[in-house]
Structure 1
């Protein structure tokens, strides 16, 4: 029964990642806790594996398609490692109730953002043409002389640290966090932001997983492996599905699902805090 649940849940996570370009990984922790009987600590560790492996596979595919700015993704990801390490260490020092309550709050935020996008689409706001950001000058250069755009360098440092901390603390790292961060801090063109974000997520997930290795109760690795393999395979099918269906309807359904899971998680976690 556990194996079947892991397969079904992995398929759902992968389909949403492939069809919508992100968001599915936020379901991994509630799935591991409420469907697969893992503790919150085990779930956030196992989720890093699901998120990291699926992102790595997606990053390779996006790089082959020419949609990844590898150098910038590596730089942002390496800067974010500090936040990922700090977040992973902090996660081991709080109660499981606090972890789940924080996760529920994050899911409510993500679900609200998705719902807002749907409302904007229905009003036709998405039809407005906005100037696309372009690749700008390097933040730091050493040749022919040293030059630093320090305000932008600080923005990259702060943004990457926050992204890494959320990845390490909650075991998430979806495009809903990283894509806006790349647009804000590095001014990437939108067509490169989603693919480049997968590089960042892979790095931060790996860093947080290394910190968590050997601490706390390990997750059920067999279950995590099944969830990861199914998610990765379903992500490929989801990408093909996106070409055949109305993605706005998929996004609307996913927003409802995320909000529903968030309310359920909050209903279980918040009373335990009181």
Structure 2
């Protein structure tokens, strides 16, 4: 099993490093269909893999000053309730339902990535550069001043991201990055770095919730997968400097659709 775990973990890590937190969505189907874990163990083990990988992957962003640590911690803490509820819901639904829902999530992510790729292509064709968002937070931290509407949006967004992490065992980078841009008005490069803080916090809290729910993990397999994933993420980070982001986006989108259809084909017939 170890001979298979290491190369698979390396490939998943390369995907994470090249594409950011969104690449972690492949971890669960890989653990289920290639390494033989049951869905609940896979989603729980994925939290370990994603949490450790994003924690280490955060370091280069910290050195480059692309992490707003305080805002990331606030966003992550606001999502703790959602992560806890998501973890409880994950253990309450049948495993086939969980996998079918996961297939749907992968198709949604593929659609989101396709939309972003098209938007980037339109902007490039029109000659527009990427305009960075304002760096001022939507929610004012000054005493006695608060934008209640923005605070509500921030709380709902953070809770939704936590719920996603707790239920599916994924980092949710595809949702965290735009949420940080829209809710906290962070520039895109800073949002990418800060999202790793949020993913780490959500993964840790969701994992703690699941460890109290009689979930058994193969720590040797998870540990070796995590180590390979961390190495792969460092390799993947170098790939981004050599390959067009649009090509990476397209390749990952195609891979997501293929894995989603395979997962659906394996899980949905069992309902019939």
| Both structures adopt the same fold (TM-score exceeding 0.5) | yes
Inter-partner Cα distance in structure 1 for 2:250 and 2:58: 25
Verify: 1:184 aligned to 2:160, yes or no: no
Could you tell me whether the CA contact under 8 Å between 1:17 and 1:235 is conserved in 2?
A: yes
Inter-partner Cα distance in structure 2 for 1:216 and 1:97: 19
Q: Which ranges in structure 2 are unaligned for 5 or more consecutive residues?
A: none
**Equivalenced residues, count:** 271
The aligned runs of 1:1-274 (5 Å cut-off) are: 2-121=1-120, 124=124, 127-129=127-129, 131-137=131-137, 139-141=139-141, 143=143, 146-274=144-272
Inter-partner Cα distance in structure 2 for 1:152 and 1:94: 33
Inter-partner Cα distance in structure 2 for 1:138 and 1:86: 26
TM-score by structure 2 length? Answer: 0.94
Q: Aligned-pair RMSD on alpha carbons?
A: 1.7
Inter-partner Cα distance in structure 1 for 2:141 and 2:48: 35
Match of 1:92, SS state, is helix
Q: Which ranges in structure 1 are unaligned for 5 or more consecutive residues?
A: none
Inter-partner Cα distance in structure 1 for 2:82 and 2:72: 16
Match of 2:72, SS state, is helix
